[in-house]
Amino acid sequence: GQQVMQIPQYQHVQEGEDFTTYCNSSTTLSNIQWYKQRPGGHPVFLIQLVKSGEVKKQKRLTFQFGEAKKNSSLHITATQTTDVGTYFCAGRSGNTPLVFGKGTRLSVIA
């Protein structure tokens, strides 16, 4: 079945440093979504990418969808302590449910 792999599993950064998490799918995706989950909370939808090569920005966050629609990345510029949490990508092929990556847990040291 479809698999979504996400790296790294953990990332510790100093406040102000950049952060990137990468997502790779074993199959071509219809779309990919990114979620953020704070410790003790539930996943919160950040964005959805649909088009090949799409790039979207939300303030300090930049999301990319690969040309082949099999990989994606989330980049945070100048991290802040409020960015702490686990970032999940989730992909979908055709009419299947979302398949989540294992997530990247981000720690930001002030």
Partner 1 sequence: GAVVSQHPSRVICKSGTSVKIECRSLDFQATTMFWYRQFPKQSLMLMATSNEGSKATYEQGVEKDKFLINHASLTLSTLTVTSAHPEDSSFYICSARGQGDTLGTQYFGPGTRLTVL
Residues lying near partner 1 in the complex (CB under 8 A): 30-31, 33, 35, 41-45, 48, 50, 88, 90, 92, 95, 97-103, 105
Q: For residues 24 and 71, is the Cβ–Cβ distance under 8 A?
A: yes
Q: Which residue's entry shows tokens 């989950």?
A: 37
For the bound state, the minimum distance from the C-beta of residue 100 to partner 1, rounded and expressed in Å, comes to 5
For the bound state, the minimum distance from the C-beta of residue 78 to partner 1, rounded and expressed in Å, comes to 26
Question: Which C-beta is closer to partner 1: that of 44 or that of 78?
Answer: 44
Question: Which C-beta is closer to partner 1: that of 70 or that of 92?
Answer: 92
Q: What are the beta bridge partners of residue 27?
A: none
Question: Which C-beta is closer to partner 1: that of 19 or that of 87?
Answer: 87
For the bound state, the minimum distance from the C-beta of residue 20 to partner 1, rounded and expressed in Å, comes to 19
